[in-house]
Structure 1
C-alpha cells in the first residue's frame, strides 16, 4: 500500500514539473541559447566614456596608412620564394655531385671561374671575390678538374633599381654547357629584392646551386647547403685588413657608453617599424640612440613631427667616437636583415646587440655566435636596456674577446670571407675529414688549422692549454729545398741524415721549391723515420712567405723540443737557409 502511494506521489510531481516547464521554460531556453551564442554574434556597443574630452586623441582608423613593406603575408612570401627557388629542399646529398670532387682525394677540391664577357660590368666587390678565388690554392683553369664552379657574371646586387644590376642573367647561365641546373655551382649575392618589400628575389632561378648570400632569412636558408655571408662594403680590404681594437681598450671592460646606435630612420617601408621605435630607449647619458630622417630623395615628403628634433640630436655625436667608446652596439635590421654596422661592431670590440628577427648569421654552420653577440627581439625593444645592464663584467670581457677572434680570423678582409666560404663547403664534401666547431671557434681559427694534418685536437699545440694536454718531446722536421738535387754530398743530404738520427724526430717533410722538377723517390736516401716530399710550388708562394713560415715552424718546435734539441735544429735551419 505504501509503495502505491509513493508511485502516485512521484507521478504527480512529474506532471507538475512538465506543466511548469511548458508555461515558463521557453524563456529559459532562449536565455540559454543567448548565453551559449558564439562571441562574434554578440553585438557589443562601444562604451560611451563620460570623460572622453579629457583623453588624448590618437589617429583615427581612417587616418592610418597601410605600410607597403608589411602588406605581404607569410604565405605570399613562401609562395614567392617557392616560385624563385624551385629546389628549396636541396641538401648536399641530393643536389651536389660528390664524384667531381673525390677523383684525387682532398686534392680534388678545385674551383673554376667562368670567363667574363668583354662588355660585362663587374663591381669592385665582385672583382675582389673573383681575385680571392683565383689566388687561392683551390683555383683551376681547367673546368674538367673542377669540383665547384663560380659565375663570371656579377650577381652581388640584384636590386633592379641599382646601377650594378646585371640583366638577363637567367638566359646567360642557361647557355653554360656545365650549368646542369646549377649543380656544383656557387653563387654570391649581397643585395636582393627591391622597393618596397625587398624580398629575396634574385631575378633568376638558381636551381641546385649553392647560395652564398648576405641577409639570409632562416626561413629560406637551406641548412647544410647554403652559406650565410656578412654584408660588406666595396671598401672592404682585399687582403689583410685592420686588426681589432680590443688591445687598446681592454680595461676596464665597460666603456663610457653602455649602448649606442646612430643611423637612418626609415619613415615608410619595410624595416621602418624597428627604426622608428629606437628613440624610446635613448636617455642621452649611457644609452645613445640617434636616428635621422635626412636620407633618400623624398624624405621631406614623409617627414613627421619628430624629424627636426632627431636631425639636430643626430649631429651632436660622432659615429666613430660612439663606436669606440660603447660597450654594446645596437645592430637593428635595415631594409634588409643584415647591415654594415655588424662588421664595424666586431672590429671595434663593441658587442653587437642584434634586432633582426629571422636573420641567419654569417657562417652560422660553424661559428657559435652566442659567445660573441647578444640576440634581441624586434618586438621587445624596451627590454634591451635592462638586458644589457644585467650582463656581468666577466661576460662582457669574454664577449669582446670573442668578437676580436672572429673578426681577425674570418671577417677582416674579402680573402678571409671567401676562403671561409670555400672551406665550409670543402668540409661538407669531405665530412669524414673535417674541422670540428672547437677548431672554428678558438684561436687561431679554422683557416689556419688544416684537417689534412689531423682531426684530433691534442695533435695541435694551439689547444694544449684549453685541453690540459702536455706537449710531447717528438717533433716534425720541415725542410725547405730550393737548390736542385745533384749529389749525395749536398748539405740537404747531410741535414737529413743528422736530423733523422734524433730520437725525438717523428717524421721529415721536404717542401720542394726548386725550379727543377721534383726528384724521384729513389734519389732520396733511406730514412729511419717517414719522409714526405711535396711540391711546394703548387701549395704556396714560397718566396714571399719563407721567412714567415720558418718563424712559425720554430715557434711550434718550441712546444715540442727540449732546449738542446731546439738549438741544434735552429743551427741546421740557419745553415740550410744560408746555403741557399
Structure 2
C-alpha cells in the first residue's frame, strides 16, 4: 500500500469562494471533530497524492462538513443542496465519477450531520466510500464494509503523566451529559454506586485523573453512537467498555477489539458490575497490555508516523479501492 496506493484530489483554488472548506487547514486542528481536519491536512501533504488521475486508485472529494456547517452562506440547512451541487459539477467537468457511479470516490466527515448531508446526493450514500465517525450500521445512511469508521480523537501529543505508575482503584468511570435513553439508563442504575462512578454535569476532579484512576472507562451512546471517549480511554491506558449497540467500530477490519475492550449490550446495563467483576486479574492485565499496544493507532500526528490513525484510515481505504475501471478514453477527457 505505502508504495503503490494513489489518490487524486479534486482541485480547488485559493481564490475560490469556498476554498476554506476544500483546502487543508493551516492550523493545528482541535476539539471533537479534529479527525476530519487532521486526515485531510496529512493526506494532502503525503506521498499518496497524485496529480495524474489515470494513476489514481481512489478520488477524494475534499469538502469539509465541519467547516461548511459553520459557514453562514451554507449552514446546516444548506449542506444537502451544496453537496448535491458539488457532485453534479464534478460529474459534468470530469469523467471519473461517471465511469464508476462514484464507487471509487470518498469523503471524510466526523460530525454526525455528514451522513444526512448526502440526502440530495443518493449516489454518494449508495456507491461512494463514506469515512465517518458516526458509523452506525443500524442507520440506512451508513453501509458497513463499503463505508469506513473514522475514530473520533482529541489530538494529543505528549504522553499522559503517570501512565505507568497509575493506581486504578475505581472499577469503572463515565462522565458526560444525559442526552440519550442509554445514558439515562446508566444513570438510573449506577448513579449512587461505590465502584462504578457515573458523572453527569461538571466534574469536580480533573478528567485525566479519573481516567488514570479507573480500570474500565465507559463509552456510552449519546446523541450519536460515536464519542471521543474510546480514544480518551486508550490514551490514558484505561480498558474501554463500549455500550453502544450497532457501532461499526473504527479499524474493525484490522484490529481485534475483543483483545483490548469489552462490549456490553445496552440491555445489559443492569449487569454491568457483574460483567466487569467477572474479568479476572489475568484477563484484565492482558486487556490493558493490549490497550497500550493499540494506543498508537488512535493518535494523529503531523507529519504522520507509522501505524498512527492516518495510516490506519489509509489502509481501510486501500482495502476498499475498486478494481473495476472504465478506460478514460471511452468517456473522453472531460464531460460538459
Which residue of structure 2 aligns with residue 119 of structure 1? Answer: 17
Cα distance in 2 between the residues matched to 1:350 and 1:148: 36
Distance 1:430 1:107, change over 3 A: farther
Q: TM-score, normalised by structure 2?
A: 0.75
Larger Rg: 1
Cα distance in 1 between the residues matched to 2:182 and 2:137: 19
Aligned 8 A contact 1:328 1:351 in 2: yes
Distance 1:243 1:200, change over 3 A: farther
Cα distance in 2 between the residues matched to 1:193 and 1:340: 16
Cα distance in 2 between the residues matched to 1:340 and 1:159: 20
Residue 152 (structure 1) shift: 2.6
Aligned 8 A contact 2:170 2:196 in 1: yes
Cα distance in 1 between the residues matched to 2:251 and 2:127: 20
Aligned 8 A contact 1:244 1:349 in 2: no
Which residue of structure 1 aligns with residue 298 of structure 2? Answer: 411
Please point out which of 209, 218, 221 is paired with 2:137: 218
Aligned 8 A contact 1:244 1:404 in 2: no
Aligned 8 A contact 1:193 1:202 in 2: no
Cα distance in 2 between the residues matched to 1:145 and 1:277: 52
Between structures 1 and 2, the one with greater helix share: 1
Cα distance in 2 between the residues matched to 1:224 and 1:373: 21
Distance 1:243 1:354, change over 3 A: same
Distance 1:287 1:316, change over 3 A: same
SS at match of 2:135: coil
Distance 1:412 1:108, change over 3 A: closer
Pairs within 5 Å for 1:80-95: none
**1:275 lines up with 2:164 in the alignment:** no
Aligned 8 A contact 1:114 1:151 in 2: yes
Distance 1:378 1:246, change over 3 A: farther
Residue 161 (structure 1) shift: 10
Distance 1:429 1:323, change over 3 A: same
Residue 247 (structure 1) shift: 5.3
Cα distance in 1 between the residues matched to 2:244 and 2:222: 8
Aligned residues: CA RMSD: 3.1
Distance 1:200 1:349, change over 3 A: farther
Pairs within 5 Å for 1:348-497: 348-408=236-296, 410-413=297-300, 415=304, 416-429=308-321
Residues 111-131 of structure 1: CA deviation (Å, up to 9, x unaligned): 112223522233644443222
Pairs within 5 Å for 1:132-531: 132-156=42-66, 165=76, 167=79, 168-176=82-90, 177=94, 178-180=96-98, 181-193=101-113, 200=116, 202-205=118-121, 206=124, 207-219=126-138, 220=140, 221-233=142-154, 236=155, 241-243=157-159, 248-249=164-165, 255-266=168-179, 271=180, 273-279=181-187, 280-283=189-192, 285-292=194-201, 314-408=202-296, 410-413=297-300, 415=304, 416-429=308-321
Aligned 8 A contact 1:109 1:147 in 2: yes
Which residue of structure 2 aligns with residue 65 of structure 1? Answer: none
Aligned 8 A contact 1:156 1:191 in 2: yes
Q: TM-score, normalised by structure 1?
A: 0.45
Distance 1:159 1:333, change over 3 A: farther
Residue 354 (structure 1) shift: 1.0
Q: Which runs of 5+ in 2 are unaligned?
A: 324-336
SS at match of 1:179: helix
Cα distance in 2 between the residues matched to 1:393 and 1:323: 19
Aligned 8 A contact 1:190 1:215 in 2: yes
Residue 340 (structure 1) shift: 1.1
Cα distance in 1 between the residues matched to 2:119 and 2:112: 8
Cα distance in 1 between the residues matched to 2:293 and 2:322: 26
Pairs within 5 Å for 1:70-85: none
Residues 5-52 of structure 1: CA deviation (Å, up to 9, x unaligned): xxxxxxxxxxxxxxxxxxxxxxxxxxxxxxxxxxxxxxxxxxxxxxxx
Cα distance in 2 between the residues matched to 1:217 and 1:174: 27
Residues 140-173 of structure 1: CA deviation (Å, up to 9, x unaligned): 1222322211113213578699987573111112
SS at match of 1:225: coil
Cα distance in 2 between the residues matched to 1:127 and 1:106: 21
